Amino acid sequence: MMAQAPLIRLRGITKVFGSGPTAFQALKGIDLDIEQGDFVAVMGPSGSGKSTMMNILGCLDAATGGQYLFHGVPVESLTGDQRALLRRKYLGFVFQGFNLLPRTTALENVELPLLYRGEPRARRHDLAMATLEQVGLAPWAHHTPAELSGGQMQRVAIARAMVTEPDVLLADEPTGNLDTERSLEIMELLTRLNVERGLTIALVTHEEEMAEYAHTIVRFRDGLIERIERNEKRAGKIGAPA
């Protein structure tokens, strides 16, 4: 039986910003495979290229050169509309700043991606409530972000990313605005989603303690992958969020 191809395959990915004498090469030839169900932490100093790579993975930016295969499909050959459809159907995003709508409830924030997909109101409500339940926030469904803690807001953001059942969750410094206790809660939640749902996660972090939750640690430096580490002793225990 043939081995299954990686969910994500990058080959020779480059990214250049600007042109002429001021051009800056942020990525200098990235080769990386991400398998279905993996939990990958991407680390590196500021300017190393890690966030540029995540933007390319999320189809928020396009590579200058190289090949990006997603489920075997060459992403660089897709039109703008097709990339938008890929983002909407297969990718979920979690950011450091939560990016919640301030005057809407947790439930309404989680419903938003389903609204964009044209789901009927009753189905949006049911799916959003079920997802809030999964992240331990059903009792806060009708609270606005101002009535939630930082950790609770990030859990709402994770629920919003999860409600469309994406193949990959891309998280950019999701614990960057949280204290240590809340950060560990979020990492426990992501670990549980990875283990119990088989969700593929790619996480950018500058904190070693958070990276220890991942199966695979990819270290960037100067636009290149410096090394890839397999973490056989993942941190955290699987259980319900605190």
DSSP string, 38-60: -EEEEE--TTSSHHHHHHHHTTS
| Domain around 207 | 37-60+80-230
Q: Tens digit of pLDDT for each residue in 18-45?
A: 999 999 999 999 999 999 999 999 999 9
8 Å CB contact between 205 and 46: no
**Strand 200-204 to 168-172 pairing:** parallel
Residue 32 inside a domain? The answer is: no
Work out the mean pLDDT of the chain and round it to a whole number.
92
Residue 242 pLDDT grade (very low, low, confident, very high; cuts 50, 70, 90): very low
Q: Tens digit of pLDDT for each residue in 103-147?
A: 999 999 999 999 988 899 999 999 999 999 999 999 999 999 999
The separation between the first and the last C-alpha atoms of the chain, rounded to the nearest angstrom, is 43
Residue 67 inside a domain? The answer is: no
- Per-residue pLDDT at 160: 95
Half-sphere exposure of 161 (CA within 13 A, CB side): 27
- Per-residue pLDDT at 118: 87
List b or e across 140-168, with b for residues whose CB sees 16 or more CB atoms inside 10 angstroms. Answer: bbeebbeebebbbbbbbbbbbbbbbebbb
Residue 71 inside a domain? The answer is: no
Handedness of CA 46, 49, 50, 52 (dihedral sign): positive
C-alpha distances in Å from residue 36, one per residue of 33, 44, 158, 201: 10, 23, 19, 9
8 Å CB contact between 56 and 13: yes
What CATH number should be reported for the domain holding residue 181? 3.40.50.300
- Per-residue pLDDT at 117: 85
Residue 16 inside a domain? The answer is: no
- Once rounded to an integer, what is the mean pLDDT over residues 143-160? 94
- Once rounded to an integer, what is the mean pLDDT over residues 203-232? 94
Q: Please check the confidence at residue 195 and state whether its pLDDT lies above 70.
A: yes
- Per-residue pLDDT at 237: 47
Q: Tens digit of pLDDT for each residue in 169-185?
A: 999 999 988 899 999 99
With residue 30 as reference, give the H or E element that holds it. Answer: strand 24-34
Residue with structure tokens 């410096």? 226
With residue 71 as reference, give the H or E element that holds it. Answer: none
Rounded to an integer, what is the distance from CA 35 to the centroid of its chain? 14
- Per-residue pLDDT at 97: 84
Give CA–CA dist 94/173, Å, rounded: 8
- Number of domains into which the chain is organized: 1
8 Å CB contact between 208 and 231: no
Q: Please check the confidence at residue 236 and state whether its pLDDT lies above 80.
A: no
Residue 14 inside a domain? The answer is: no
- Per-residue pLDDT at 3: 59
Residue 48 inside a domain? The answer is: yes
Residue 232 pLDDT grade (very low, low, confident, very high; cuts 50, 70, 90): confident
Residue 133 inside a domain? The answer is: yes
